[in-house]
């Protein structure tokens, strides 16, 4: 591709968690079905994939209580196929963090360079006991990827920015894409689960450091204001219904 970047939101299916995990210690409780999605940036410097969703077989085996719903078309190969792209064409993979619902499709991108935050890569293999289920899918590492380690805020390609937003995990990052035809798109990852999370300053129940989580949420709000960017939340069913998903794109 030459010239302008295109951004595709890839639908990866849904999972269920309790409302008290979605909104830590606030709720209300009860099952909440939420979306999982990935972001493909078809860029003049390569094909960049931010997050890769979950692996259905893994969730059914290890976390069946999250009631996964994912069709073959909602896997990374299925989503890329509708765009005429093979997973082997992905040049770079960046994960907001290495929890199972953000890394399940990495294993298909065998030719990609994995841009990994050094603290997050370390945490995926040496984490706290309460993070065990989050880091239960290590298939992203078993394919023997080529890692390039990141630290600090980094522009990984022209107009593609990775920001440190720790708290949910030790090395969590968020991702911003500058576009020529619209305002920048700032993908919060699990630093902000939903719009309500931001409006009410409520973090999720899955976190490494709650104080850092609140600081990162506030930092993302400041970054969005500074860059006049649109914020995209990680697991907001209401927002997701309003977004254009692939094969539609933003440019």
Each residue's pLDDT tens digit, 104-140 = 999 999 999 999 999 999 999 999 999 999 999 999 9
CA angle 103, 232, 222 (to 5 degrees): 115
Percent of the chain residues topping a pLDDT of 70? 99
101 has catalytic annotation: yes
pLDDT in tens, 197-211: 999 999 999 999 999
Strands (E), the chain: 6-18, 31-43, 46-50, 92-94, 113-117, 146-150, 154-157, 160-164, 173-177, 185-187, 230-232
Q: Do residues 184 and 227 touch, judged by C-beta distance below 8 A?
A: yes
Q: Which of 101, 137, 141, 190 is catalytic?
A: 101
Structure tokens at 140: 């992203």
Mean pLDDT of the chain: 97
At 50 the pLDDT is 98
CATH of 6-242, one of 3.60.15.10, 1.10.3860.10, 3.40.630.30, 3.90.1150.10: 3.60.15.10
> 196's torsion region: left (phi>0), alpha (psi -120 to 50) or beta?
alpha
pLDDT digits (tens, 9 = 90+) for 176-193: 999 998 999 999 999 999
pTM of the model: 0.96
- Residues belonging to the chain: 251
Tell me what the mean pLDDT of segment 78-85 comes to: 98
The token pair at 138 is 């290590």
User: Whose CA is closest to 140, among 41, 241, 55?
Assistant: 55
What are the extents of the domains in the chain?
A: 6-242
* Residue 143 pLDDT: 87
Span 85-100, mean pLDDT? Answer: 98
> For residue range 16-61, what is the model confidence (pLDDT) as tens digits?
999 999 999 999 999 999 999 999 999 999 999 999 999 999 999 9
CB 124 within 8 A of CB 98: yes
């Amino acid at each position: 591709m030459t010239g302008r970047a295109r951004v595709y939101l890839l639908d990866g299916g849904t999972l269920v968690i309790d409302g008290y995990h979605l909104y830590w210690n606030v709720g209300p409780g009860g099952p909440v079905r939420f979306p999982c999605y990935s972001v493909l940036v078809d860029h003049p410097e390569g094909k960049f994939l931010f997050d890769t969703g979950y692996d259905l077989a893994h969730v059914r085996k290890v976390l069946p209580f999250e009631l996964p719903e994912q069709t073959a078309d909602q896997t990374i190969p299925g989503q890329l196929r509708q765009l005429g792209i093979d997973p082997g064409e992905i040049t770079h993979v960046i994960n907001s963090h290495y929890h199972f619902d953000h890394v399940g499709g990495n294993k298909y991108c065998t030719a990609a360079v994995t841009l990994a935050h050094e603290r997050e890569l370390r945490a995926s293999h040496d984490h706290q006991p309460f993070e065990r289920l989050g880091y239960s899918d290590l298939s992203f590492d078993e394919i023997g990827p080529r890692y390039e380690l990141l630290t600090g805020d980094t522009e990984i390609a022209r107009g593609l920015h990775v920001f440190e937003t720790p708290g949910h995990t030790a090395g969590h990052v968020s991702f911003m894409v500058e576009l020529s035809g619209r305002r920048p798109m700032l993908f919060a990852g699990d630093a902000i689960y939903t719009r309500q999370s931001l409006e009410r300053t409520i973090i999720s129940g899955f976190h490494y450091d709650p104080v850092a989580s609140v600081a990162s949420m506030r930092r993302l709000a400041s970054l969005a204001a500074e860059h006049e960017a649109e914020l995209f939340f990680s697991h907001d069913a209401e927002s997701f219904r309003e977004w254009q998903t692939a094969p539609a794109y933003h440019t």
